[in-house]
Amino acid sequence: MSDVAHPVTRPTPVTTEPRLARHILIGTVVALVAVLLFAPLFAVFAEALRQGWAASIEGISSPDARAAIRLTLIVAAIAVPLNAVFGIAAAWAITKFDFRGKAFLITLIDLPFSVSPVVAGLALVLLFGANSWFGAWLIAHDLKIVFAFPGIVLATMFVTFPFVARELIPVMMEQGRAEEEAALTLGASGWRVFLTVTLPNIRWALLYGVLLCNARAMGEFGAVAVISGKIRGETTTMPIMIEMLYNEYLSVAAFSLAAVLALLALVTLFLKSLLEWCYADLLAATRRH
C-alpha cells in the first residue's frame, strides 16, 4: 500500500465538480449575468448622460416630468401603506386563527402575481368605466376613477397586492401563537400584544415586503397605462412619462427619467441585500432553508 508514501492533506472533493467544469460554469454565469443584467442597467445611465449632465437634468426638470415624479411618489405613498395594512391584517387572520378555506384565501391573495397587469387594468376599467355597473352611479356623484388618480392607486394596489402578505405569512406561521397567548394571559390588551410582541418579531420581514412593494408600485407600467388614460401632466406616472418621451424620440429625457427609477431600483436592491445579510434569520422562512 502506498498510503504512507504521500500523506493525504485534503479529502478528495467528491461533492464538487471537476475543476474545469467549475471554471466553465462560473465563466458562463458571470458572462450571462453581465450581458443580461448589468448591460441594460449600464445602458440606462449611458443613454441618459449621452449629452452630458446638463441635458439630463433638464430632461427630468420639465414641468411634465416633475408632475410625473410627484404623482408617482403620491401614488406610492398611498398604495404602499394601504397594502402594508392589508398585509398585516391578512397575515394576522391567516396565521393566528384556524378557519375553513384558508388555502383558497391564500391562493386568492396570490392571484395578482399571475394576472397580467394589462388584464388588471382592463378589469378595473370594466368595473368603474363609463358604461359599467358602477359607472352611472359614479358619474351621477361626479366621481372619477378611470382616467383619474383613484384608478391609478387601485391599479397599483392590484399589482403590488400580495407583496407584504407574502413576506409576513411564512414568518408569522413559523413563530406560532405561544408568545401572543402568553402576553394575553399576563393581561395585555389585543393591541398591546400586537405592538409589543408581534410587531418586533415581524418588523424586518415587514420592511422587506414594503421595500419590494414600493419598488413595484413606483415602476408599475401595464396596469397604470390602461387605466390612467395617459393625460399629460395629470395622470402620467414616471413609467408612463418615460414611454411618452421615448415615443416622441426625446431619448435623453426618457432615459434620464428612467435613470431616476433605475437609481431607486439600485437603492432597493442595496437595502434588500443589507436586510438579507443582517437579518436572514428573521426574514421569510423560505429564504432561510
Partner 1 sequence: MRAGILRSPSPLPGFGLSFGIMMAVLSIVVLLPIVALLGHGLAIGPADLWGMVSSRRIRAALALSFRAALVASLFNLVFGLVLAWVLVRYRFWGRRLIDAAIDLPFALPTAVAGIALTALYAPNGAFGQLLAPLGLRVAYTEIGIWLALIFIGLPFVVRTVQPVIEEVDREVEEVSATLGARRAYTLRRVVLPTLTPALLTGFALALARSVGEYGSVIFIAGNLPFQTEIAPLLIVIRLEEYNHEAATAIGLAMLLIAFAMLLAINAIQIWSRRRIGDV
Site for partner 1 in 14-53 (CB under 8 A): 14-18, 22, 25-26, 28-30, 32-33, 35-41, 43-44, 47
Q: Does 148 interact with partner 1 (rule: CB under 8 A)?
A: no
> What's the sign of the alpha-carbon dihedral 162, 163, 164, 170?
positive
10 Å CB burial of residue 175 (0-12, 13-18, 19+) is middle
Would you say how long the chain is, in residues? 289
Site size toward partner 1, by CB under 8 A:
107
Rounded Cα distance between 201 and 282, Å, is: 8
Cβ contacts of 286 within 8 Å, gap of 6 or more: 170
Q: Does 218 interact with partner 1 (rule: CB under 8 A)?
A: yes
Q: Does 90 interact with partner 1 (rule: CB under 8 A)?
A: yes
Q: Does 127 interact with partner 1 (rule: CB under 8 A)?
A: yes
Residue among 78, 286, 282 at smallest CA distance from 166? 286
DSSP state letter for 36: I
Find the binder of partner 1 among 52, 181, 200, 231 (CB under 8 A): 181
Q: Does 109 interact with partner 1 (rule: CB under 8 A)?
A: yes
Find the binder of partner 1 among 75, 171, 202, 220 (CB under 8 A): 220
C-alpha 93: how far from chain center: 23
- Tell me which residues in 248-287 interact with partner 1 (CB under 8 A): 254-255, 258, 261-262, 264-266, 268-270, 272-273, 286-287
Task: Name the minimum Å distance from CB 54 to partner 1.
Answer: 21
Find the binder of partner 1 among 53, 133, 195, 203 (CB under 8 A): 133
Q: Grid coordinates 392590484 are at which residue? A: 158
Q: Does 61 interact with partner 1 (rule: CB under 8 A)?
A: no
Q: Grid coordinates 352611472 are at which residue? A: 136
Find the binder of partner 1 among 60, 120, 145, 164 (CB under 8 A): 120
- Beta carbons of 201 and 171 less than 8 angstroms apart: yes
- Which letter, b or e, does each residue of 41-60 get, where b requires 16 or more Cβ atoms within 10 Å of its Cβ? eeebbebbeeeeeeebeebb
Pick between residue 23 and residue 66 the one whose CB is nearest to partner 1. Answer: 23
> What's the sign of the alpha-carbon dihedral 228, 223, 266, 257?
negative
Pick between residue 32 and residue 57 the one whose CB is nearest to partner 1. Answer: 32
Find the binder of partner 1 among 205, 207, 239, 256 (CB under 8 A): 239
Pick between residue 24 and residue 57 the one whose CB is nearest to partner 1. Answer: 24
Rounded Cα distance between 152 and 77, Å, is: 12
Find the binder of partner 1 among 3, 98, 142, 281 (CB under 8 A): 98
Task: Name the minimum Å distance from CB 1 to partner 1.
Answer: 19
The window from 56-64, 108-116, 137-145, 168-176 that contacts partner 1 (CB under 8 A) reads 108-116
